[in-house]
Structure 1
Amino acid sequence: MERQALLKFKEGLKDPSNGLSSWVGQDCCTWLGVGCNNQTGHVIKLDLKSQPVCNQVAGSVFCKELTLGVELSPSLLDLKYLNYLYLSYNDFQGIPIPNFIGSLNRLSYLDLSYASFGGTIPPYLGNLSNLYYLNLSTFLINFSVSNLNWLSGLSSLQYLSLISVNLSKASTHWLQIVNMLPFLIELHLSGCELQNLPQTLQFVNFTSLSVLDLSYNNFNSSLIPQWLFNITGLTNLHLSSCYLKGSIPEIAIGSFYNLQSLDISLNYYISGEITEFFHVLSGCSNRRGPIPKNIGNLSRLEELDLSYNKMSGIILESIGQLTELTQLNLFSNSWEGIIYEIHFLNLTKLSSLSLSSTTNLLVLNVSHNWIPSFDLPLIEADGCQLGPAFPAWLRTQKNLWDITLKNAAILDKIPD
């Protein structure tokens, strides 16, 4: 019965690349994208994300995208044990998501993202009480919701992405609904035409939330609400281009202890003092420890600024592999050890160098006749031993206009 259901499902699809040519024979568990339970043999997984199908002809490999579309057949209802449905990046040509999807009550994973579904998201999806992953992100402008009340039925949800879905009709209640999902870990609502960012929230229920992306919504010059900073488990907070205004609210030390990524860029009306805000961020546990050993693999890195943290250990020689680096700011950390010429070997584009150690155990050890590969306008060194002789290599820096040499252990005359 399940094999026949899959064949009926196939009849409603376009398959110009013949990617479903493997859907023949009696054992449907060997078909492309079909997964079965090893013990019962029932179909539990359908993974037809658009992917290249490659064939080798005369020694050359030719790949075509697997593009499905036309309709979703209700024969899927005969897959009684289906718990995983993945149809991302296929082309369903603007048809609405069919209501019967809400009857696949064993589904725990549903991804229909960027599959060109249109119309209104059916509220019947709220019947999928076992869902822990739901992704309906889109690039169509006519994909929307009438409301988000159906989300309250997805009490097990851990991942929700509705990127670019038009949620304007849910602007007044989206937060109250989302706040009812206690196990939510990631929430992606970027570019959803939300216009209301409530300033108060009686209690924060989604205490498991780690990733929150509300970027590219027009919150009508709202203030940044205090409740955002009560979500202490956040590792990623993205509020870019949201038309926010005013000052950043006061934050208790330790509130953002787990924060790894914060983006509040392109909010041109945010104003006020930020010193206290950054002081709070300085207590984050992720800003501690040594420089990662694989830092040299960031071959396109242009700016590296680790200033004012609680980092320690040596400054790795692999820094010298960052050939695109223009700014190297390692100020006010607990560095120690020796910096040699090899640290700067390939930094030909460097225009700013800032070194500082609170331990006074950092030593710059270069030869007297060293000529750097860079020409710096700005050099800043504090608690870094450059002496005892005055550094002769400074004479080669013809564009220098700002220089700080503080606690540099120099026992010499300043040369003319």
Structure 2
Amino acid sequence: MSVVLVFALFLFELLVISISFCNGSSDHMGCLENEREALLRFKQDLQDPSNRLASWNIGGDCCAWAGIVCDNVTGHIIELNLRNPFTYYQRSRYKANPRSMLVGKVNPSLLDLNHLSYLGLSFNDFQGVQIPRFIGSIRNLRYLNLSDTQFVGMIPPPLGNLSNLKSLDLSLNYLYVENFLWLSGLSFLEQLDLCYVNLSKASDWLLVANTLPSLVELRLSNCQLHHLPPLTISNFSSLTVLDLSFDQFDNSLIPGWCCGPPKLLAQLPTISGWRAQDKAKSASLARFRKVLGNSNTFELLVEKIKTYLATFGKGCLSAARVCCAKHSSRDIGLSYNSLERRIPRSMASLCNLRTIYLSGAKLSQEISDIFDIFSGCVSKELEILVLQSSSISGHLTEQIGHFKNLDTLDLGNYSIVGLVPLSLNELSKLRILHLPDNKLNGTLSEIHFVNLTKLSVFSVNENNLTLKVNHDWVPPFQLVQLGLRSCYVGSRFPQWLHSQKLYKF
């Protein structure tokens, strides 16, 4: 056989192999038998009322089953994603449709999936048992999501053996820990979400978190944390999100480590203990009902009540968020906290601020003073200024015209008095303007709106204002929402409303 012929046959074989790989096939046609059997045993322990696992049958290729991903070369199962896909958004969080939940227990057969790197079981119902300790032996896991799966009790320390983990989400269950030592070996961890886990006994939470070199997101909202300890050296070089909202911190000062990394956007509440609001009470009652929902025996009912008290027994908490920032930070929030303070003059140097949320903060400050603080370099970048219900008083001033990049301005529920300044018309990018429930008076004219071409939401309800425009005035904007309650708009139906094609009153 000539050299040319041998070389041609060699090229042909390479071509066949290439086509085979491009079509997703390999030497391993379909999944491995032992892994298929492991999945079927896993399925046997689950109720599936919506038939989500209909494709899981004895004779089929498990690599084609719902929620399964196999390695194209080896055929090993690398992903098991059975997250309940039927969720809906309510009260700032996703909730699952109970009719589409998988209900039952997690079978240890998962240990036979030796190459599993992704395990997602969120929004299903595992009926008030502890997280199985054997999950800590699935050593190749890089992604583990058990969020909102009805697990209760202490987080098993063996989860700390998952040294390859990059993402761990145990949020929205009824769990607690006594310390953070079990996390100390997760050097590759980038995302950690323990929201609603009771961390009141974990005094080492910050110390251990500070040793995780890869951490990008740390979410510990509603975890009954009480103290923000100082850090001699902060190692949060990669951290971009720190969420400690709805916690119970007893110190009102933001420690220096929070504002250290220039990328860090933090949510830090400052709460005074038991001061409950209606929303928090409702959330607490909802959690209690959820805990008791599957209690079909008296003994189980008692155990679940004990778990609830151990996890959430500290009372209902008022909501709060504080985002600390340095010059490079983009967002600040100090919403719904119990502090009484003034916005410091030093914030005038935060020239890159884009968003300021100060809803519900007891600022006891005049609006003109706040405008004066932010009217320098801050005003050039600021897009959202929300000061709703923050005990602010005084007169609006012409300084409002300095904020030319504003998209949203919310000054509702104050004791702001006097006229609306004409410099409002300089806010050509303004889309949302809320000024309700104040003591504004005087006249709003066409001049106020002449450059507000992007305005879509406008509310001045419960003020003593008069809207005085020409009968044939055509506004430069198209409103989606309009509030003029208690304001005088003339003795006739305003003709200009006929030009608004999108509004809904």
Does residue 108 in structure 1 map to residue 142 in structure 2? yes
Specify the alignment match of 1:179 in structure 2.
210
CA distance in 2, matches of 1:3, 1:306: 66
Q: What amino acid maps onto 2:335 in structure 1?
A: S
Residue of structure 1 aligned with 2:47, choices 14, 18, 21: 14
Contact kept, 8 Å, 1:197 with 1:222, in 2: the verdict is: no
Specify the alignment match of 1:264 in structure 2.
334
Structure with the largest fraction of helix: 2
Residues 309 and 240 (structure 1), Cα distance of their counterparts in 2 relative to 1, 3 Å cut:
farther
CA distance in 2, matches of 1:217, 1:367: 53
Superposition pairs of residues 271-350 of structure 1, within 5 angstroms: 271=341, 273-284=342-353, 311=405, 325-327=433-435, 340=450, 343=453, 349-350=459-460
Deviation at 1:101, TM superposition (A): 0.6
Deviation at 1:267, TM superposition (A): 2.5
Deviation at 1:39, TM superposition (A): 2.0
User: Deviation string for 1:45-72 (max 9, x for gaps)?
Assistant: 000011249xxxxxxxxx9843223221
Deviation at 1:17, TM superposition (A): 2.2
CA distance in 2, matches of 1:106, 1:238: 32
SS in 2 for 1:168: coil
SS in 1 for 2:272: coil
Residues 256 and 351 (structure 1), Cα distance of their counterparts in 2 relative to 1, 3 Å cut:
farther
Specify the alignment match of 1:192 in structure 2.
223
SS in 2 for 1:45: strand
Q: What amino acid maps onto 2:41 in structure 1?
A: K
Residues 85 and 240 (structure 1), Cα distance of their counterparts in 2 relative to 1, 3 Å cut:
same
Does residue 71 in structure 1 map to residue 102 in structure 2? no
User: Deviation string for 1:140-180 (max 9, x for gaps)?
Assistant: 3xx1112210111111111111011111120x211101111
Contact kept, 8 Å, 2:379 with 2:402, in 1: the verdict is: no
User: Deviation string for 1:190-241 (max 9, x for gaps)?
Assistant: 111112211x211111111111111121122443222211132113x21235
| Identity of matched residues, % | 41
Deviation at 1:9, TM superposition (A): 1.0
CA distance in 1, matches of 2:352, 2:70: 48
Give ranges in structure 1 of 5+ residues lacking alignment: 54-62, 296-304, 329-337, 353-365, 379-394, 399-416
Residues 69 and 310 (structure 1), Cα distance of their counterparts in 2 relative to 1, 3 Å cut:
same
Deviation at 1:42, TM superposition (A): 1.0
Residue of structure 1 aligned with 2:180, choices 124, 148, 151: 148
Contact kept, 8 Å, 1:51 with 1:65, in 2: the verdict is: no
Superposition pairs of residues 385-400 of structure 1, within 5 angstroms: none
User: Deviation string for 1:339-376 (max 9, x for gaps)?
Assistant: 74772886663479xxxxxxxxxxxxx98974879979
Q: Normalised by the size of structure 2, how large is the TM-score?
A: 0.56
CA distance in 1, matches of 2:403, 2:455: 26
Residues 80 and 281 (structure 1), Cα distance of their counterparts in 2 relative to 1, 3 Å cut:
same
CA distance in 2, matches of 1:22, 1:306: 61
User: Deviation string for 1:304-328 (max 9, x for gaps)?
Assistant: x9976684999797857x6xx4349
Superposition pairs of residues 220-231 of structure 1, within 5 angstroms: 220-231=250-261
SS in 2 for 1:94: coil
Q: What amino acid maps onto 1:151 in structure 2?
A: L
SS in 1 for 2:211: coil
CA distance in 1, matches of 2:185, 2:379: 41
Q: What amino acid maps onto 2:51 in structure 1?
A: N
